[in-house]
Chains A and B, each alone.
Chain A
Amino acid sequence: MSKKAASTIETKDDAVPACGASAQAPVNANLPKEAKVELYRKMVRIRRFEERSLRAYQAKKIGGFLHLYIGQEAVAVGCCSLMGANDHVITAYRDHGHAMAVGMDTKPLMAELYGKVTGCSKGKGGSMHYFAPSLNYWGGHGIVGGQIPLGTGLAYALKYKGLKGAAMAFMGDGAVNQGAVHEAYNLAALWNLPVIFVVENNGYSMGTSQDRSSAGPGLAQRAEAYGMNWGTCFGHDVYEVRATMDKFLTLAREQCKPAVVEIDTYRYRGHSVADPDNTYRTKEQIEEYRRTKDPIQVFQNILMKDGVLTDALVEQIDTEAKAEADLAADFAEASPYPTPDDIQRDVYWESDNPDQRASKGRLFFE
């Protein structure tokens, strides 16, 4: 986690500066004050939403797995804040942060966790499987690495249609060892597809550290084998994430250049809420990160210094975020569950649209 920022596309002059200083990058310096506040607000909202969801999980309102993004907020918020109309996002199961970063509403997100019919996937997907195609957000995927070829396909479609956009395909540091990821790298490089493979390196895949799972000098550098651009940056500084990603996204949109960007980050909670988190790292390590690199605190400090945030505004944003999360939980609580009849809805387009059905024969079996 202490690697220096590096990249294949940067000269010494425009190399991403040390932590905190990327504020001068045009993509950040030109941001209106309100947009900076919005970046901050989004991170706080994600944090509070997830903390609320954790309490709901502990109260047994939520089933299955709950993979929290707490500690990593600046990555999704930084990357997704750069999205234009033709940019798209896909990620793995640790997907609450990305969902909120692209603009999904907290009520259906919380309701999905509760398994309610008002959830963003009508209670069918759960925590790992959030989707919002209208916001260019393509999930939420449970199989490690499985989303990466899909993200490559989004980029293929953009290029095919002649749209100037890019796909961001997020994965963890463990996912880079899936064969499908390497096949996607090759396709993206071979066909010059506008996709950025974003490796959110939080140091661990479940209980396995990067050292114990990945060979080679660095995860992003693997791009070199495919002749692809790559870069690394720190993920606790939302400005740095934006400054780095902006360059690669521009290359993707303008020149259809794919890249692998590895963003160093950290998760404070266990792999999922079920992980006792006491076998593979120390409490001190977590505390140290939280104390020195908490993405919300780091950005708050920057914005306070710049006079963008005040104590009162910080307080207000936090209060509002907590209230929003509580409201989302109330909404989820009050919503109905799907019914057993819903089990077989949304399986086939044709069975949901019987008037337009063209095929014959039986679709469902007993």
Chain B
Amino acid sequence: MAVLTYREAIRAALSEELTRDENVVLLGEEVAQFHGAYKVSDGLLEKFGPKRIVDTPISEAGFIGMGVGASMLGIRPVMELMFWSFYSVAFDQILNNAANVRYMSGGLINCPIVIRGPANGGTNVGATHSHTPENVLANHPGIKVVVPATARDAKGLLKSAIRDNDPVMFLENTILYGEKGEVPDTEELIPLGLADVKREGTDLTIVTYGRSVLHSLVAADILEKEHDVSVEVVDLRTIRPLDIDTVLASVKKTHRVLIVEEQKPFASVGSQLAFMIQKEAFDELDGPIHRLATIDAPAIYSPPVEVEQLPNPQRVLKAALAAVA
């Protein structure tokens, strides 16, 4: 297996899909000549030319809406949002148009668009640039939502997302772009809606996704070594469709649950999970479901304090100990 960064893995997925299907195009701010604000698309303009790799003006509502329209006519646009935080400018296009057009046309129209870009805190860019909208997006039937944590998952899931006939929101992470991981040399398509047990354990299930997976794995090691607690880490990978079965299977094994998410807590992904777990596995639970989320306030700028606002290994550790107490 090759070792790629998360960034390179996404680039490889884009490159392979651009090669495979001439209807795949990449559009976004600074994706072509500048090679992407986070260099994800480095080299793609040179390889695929300006018809396939297109720089747009700073007009998210315009170009995302244009992508939705083009997808209705069979183009498979991959639209880069420089930050997912800017989705708010294109909210109407994503959540009224992309989400609803198939339904409102009685299934006559498909919208095979992928909207991708980073959605995370932790880089001290303040409240306007640190949104994690996976819960808001997943609240809209018709939309699919993917949040990969590793290079391998990012590549395999993005390839599936591009081939998917529904609108897929693909949420990356600026802090993960430089993280390295093994990626198979042969083509791998990871289906949307399949969770992955990133670590097996018997005493506590941590259900998580995105960068919080990494924090949870660090905390799980400490829990094992220093507290004799065996933790299973379930990485959802996809928020919608949601692989609740893998979560429930783990709960049946450990009987205790901690949800870790880089999300504001109110009506978060974790809220939905907690509802489903108590509904489907009430008798399996030896204690209340615990959750560690982002501290409930807009993202603070101050660098050392932002670390404390978000999930981090120490906060996960503390929450896990509370969950097994």
Contacts and interface: CB of A to CB of B under 8 A. Distances in A.
Interface of A: 63-65, 112, 115-117, 121, 123-126, 128-129, 141-146, 174-175, 177-180, 205-208, 212-214, 279-280, 337-340, 342-344, 347, 364-366
B37 A126 contact: no
A129 B62 CA distance: 26
B265 interface: yes
Nearest to A339: B305
B109 to A, nearest CB: 24
Given A142-B128, A143-B88, A340 B59 contact: no
B33 A207 contact: yes
Contacts of B309: 340, 343
Interface string B101-129: 00000000000000000000001111111
Interface of B: 29-30, 33-35, 37, 55, 57-62, 85-86, 88-89, 123-129, 264-266, 291, 293, 295-298, 300-306, 308-309
Given A65-B125, A174-B57, A206-B34, 14 more contacts: A64-B124, A64-B301, A64-B303, A121-B301, A124-B300, A126-B124, A126-B125, A129-B126, A144-B58, A145-B58, A146-B89, A208-B57, A340-B309, A365-B266
A208 B30 contact: yes
B30 A143 contact: no
Contacts, number: 143
Dominant SS among interface residues on chain B: loop
Contact of B296 (A65, A178, A365): A365
A115 B302 contact: yes
B55, B291, B303: residue with the most chain A Cβ atoms closer than 10 Å: B303
B305 A125 contact: no
7 contacts: A124-B127, A125-B127, A126-B301, A142-B126, A179-B61, A205-B58, A340-B309
A366 B126 contact: no
Contacts of A141: 128
A365 B292 CA distance: 11
Nearest to B85: A143
A252 B124 CA distance: 38
Nearest to B86: A143
Contact of B124 (A115, A337, A343): A115
Contacts of A364: 296-297
B33 A279 contact: yes
A47 B20 CA distance: 51
A144 B62 CA distance: 14
A344 B126 contact: no
Contact of B126 (A117, A126, A180): A126
B29 A116 contact: no
Contact of A338 (B123, B265, B296, B305): B305
A143 B88 CA distance: 10
B282 to A, nearest CB: 22
6 residue pairs, one from A and one from B, having the closest CB atoms: A63-B124, A126-B301, A142-B128, A115-B302, A64-B124, A123-B302
Contacts of A340: 295, 305, 308-309
Given A142-B129, A205-B58, A280-B34, A115 B301 contact: yes
B126, B266, B298: residue with the most chain A Cβ atoms closer than 10 Å: B126
A123 B57 contact: no
Contact of A64 (B35, B37, B58, B126): B126
A130 to B, nearest CB: 11
A364 B125 CA distance: 23
B302 A128 contact: no
Contact of A206 (B30, B61, B291, B302): B30
B58 A175 contact: yes
B34 A347 contact: no
Nearest to B124: A63
B304 A337 contact: yes
B89 A178 contact: yes
B296 A344 contact: yes
Nearest to B65: A179
A296 B60 CA distance: 36
A279 B89 contact: no
Given A208-B57, A214-B57, A128 B128 contact: yes
Contacts of B301: 63-64, 112, 115, 121, 123-126, 129
A347 B126 CA distance: 14
A211 B266 CA distance: 44
